[in-house]
């Protein structure tokens, strides 16, 4: 089961040679395998509501037919050690999943002995590289919840290690699978000429500003615009973020992040046939559908190139902030963090 499809390999190998120069991240080609019809799922991190939502959907007595055979059987609850808003949830969430038949284990190593697939749900992105590597070394396909990592360098390292170890993973905000965003991406209003997207953008000092929560609106933006952003400028006030991206074909996409007023998710996609309102957001179910489909088939629903460009966009926004709103080239940001990622990987001393 631990396989990418050959079709996805051909598609992605070509795509990864374009754009920001993500040529070092490729996908291995190998023979197609049979589709999995069942699987024991483990969760790392009971410090996010996503863990509870996914477990309830999969372990319910009346679980949807599309989830049949896939069940959360074990969880390692610890994630962040120092983000109080996350750690305070753990005791309650432990009790919640135990009521759903989930065994609580003392380590990731113990978890990996009991499961076939992993949901890496730790709310804090900083441990994701270490945790994800442990899972990949065990050969278990995994989904890594947002943020994919605590730095762009770690994100690049994770995808490079996925290639090296031939263990697939993907990461996504659930906003990618909002119905209207998927309709826009599928051509409902013709070619997308531009987009304005918004989401809450609360800040967490341990993470790049937009990684923590702005990722939701940025992922919506990329869902409808696709890859190819060249430069970013950012304006920040106490309550608002405004990030303007210019794509290589001249299109403009914007992200507005909010920290005051009612928190909502949405935006507008501007198509050749007219504008399309993005929203409302209806929850996690569509993302869980893609996760289970990935566990069944091994086929990645999102190209690594796209996820890496999303995080490069957000890191470039931080660089623009540091430089008082100067336009920042994504290519330059990516190249800087690629060098850091290579050093990280070298320090791991993995066998060739």
pLDDT at residue 129 is higher than 70:
yes
Res 9: pLDDT: 34
Range scoring the smallest mean pLDDT among 6-20, 39-53, 177-191: 6-20
Band of pLDDT at residue 238, cut at 50, 70 and 90: very high
Cβ count near 94 (within 10 Å): 15
Burial (Cβ within 10 Å: 0-12, 13-18, ≥19) of residue 80: buried
| C-alpha torsion 122→125→129→135, nearest 10 | 20
- Domains of the chain by start residue, with CATH: 6-174+284-289 (3.40.50.720)
Confidence of residue 349 (pLDDT cuts 50, 70, 90): confident
Q: What is the DSSP letter of 65?
A: G
Q: What is the pLDDT of residues 186-229, one digit of tens each?
A: 999 999 999 999 999 999 999 999 999 999 999 999 999 999 99
The pTM score is 0.91
Q: Of 172, 16, 43, nearest to 120 (Cα)? A: 43
Return the percentage of the chain with pLDDT > 90, whole number: 87
pLDDT above 90 (res 128)? yes
Query: Pairing mode, if any, of strands 266-271 and 274-278?
Result: antiparallel
pLDDT in tens, 37-66: 999 999 999 999 999 999 999 999 999 999
Residue 1 has pLDDT above 70, yes or no: no
Where residue 33 falls among pLDDT bands split at 50, 70, 90? low
pLDDT at 16 over 50: no
Q: What is the number of helices (H) and of strands (E) in the chain?
A: 13, 13
Q: How confident is the model at residue 35 (pLDDT cuts 50, 70, 90)?
A: confident
- The share of the chain scoring above pLDDT 70, in percent, equals 91
254-310 pLDDT, tens digit each: 999 999 999 999 999 999 999 999 999 999 999 999 999 999 999 999 999 999 999
Give the range among 76-80, 152-156, 238-242 with minimum mean pLDDT.
Answer: 76-80
Backbone φ and ψ of 101, nearest 5° = 85, 20
- The pLDDT assigned to 80 comes to 79
Distance CA 124, CA 86 (A): 8
């Amino acid at each position: 089961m631990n396989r990418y499809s050959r079709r996805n390999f051909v598609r992605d190998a070509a795509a990864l040679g374009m754009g920001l120069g993500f040529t070092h991240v490729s996908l291995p080609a190998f023979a197609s395998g049979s589709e999995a019809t069942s699987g024991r799922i483990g969760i790392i991190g009971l410090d996010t509501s996503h863990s509870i939502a996914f477990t309830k959907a999969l372990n319910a007595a009346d679980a949807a037919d599309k989830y049949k055979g896939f069940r959360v059987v074990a969880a390692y609850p610890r994630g962040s050690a120092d983000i109080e808003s996350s750690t305070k949830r753990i005791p309650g969430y432990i009790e919640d999943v135990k009521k759903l038949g989930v065994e609580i284990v003392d380590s990731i190593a113990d978890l990996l002995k009991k499961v076939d697939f992993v949901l890496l749900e730790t709310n804090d992105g900083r441990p994701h590289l270490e945790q994800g590597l442990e899972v990949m070394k065990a050969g278990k396909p995994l989904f890594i919840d947002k943020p994919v990592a605590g730095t762009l360098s770690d994100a690049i390292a994770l995808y490079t290690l996925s290639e090296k170890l031939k263990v697939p993973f993907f990461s996504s905000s659930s906003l990618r699978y909002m119905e209207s965003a998927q309709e826009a991406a599928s051509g409902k209003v013709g070619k997308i000429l531009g987009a304005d997207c918004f989401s809450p953008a609360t800040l967490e000092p341990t993470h790049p500003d937009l990684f923590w929560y702005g990722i939701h609106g940025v992922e919506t933006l990329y869902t409808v615009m696709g890859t190819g952003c060249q430069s970013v400028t950012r304006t920040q006030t106490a309550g608002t973020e405004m990030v303007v991206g210019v794509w290589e074909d001249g299109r403009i996409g914007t992200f507005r992040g909010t920290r005051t007023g009612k928190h909502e998710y949405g935006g507008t996609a501007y198509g050749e046939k007219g504008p399309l309102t993005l929203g409302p957001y209806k929850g996690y179910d569509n993302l869980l559908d893609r996760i289970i489909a990935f566990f069944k088939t091994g086929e990645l629903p999102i190209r690594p190139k796209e996820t890496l460009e999303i995080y490069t966009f957000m890191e470039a926004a931080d660089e623009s902030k540091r430089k008082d709103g100067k336009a920042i080239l994504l290519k330059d940001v990516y190249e800087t963090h690629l060098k850091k990622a290579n050093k990280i990987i070298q320090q791991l001393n993995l066998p060739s």
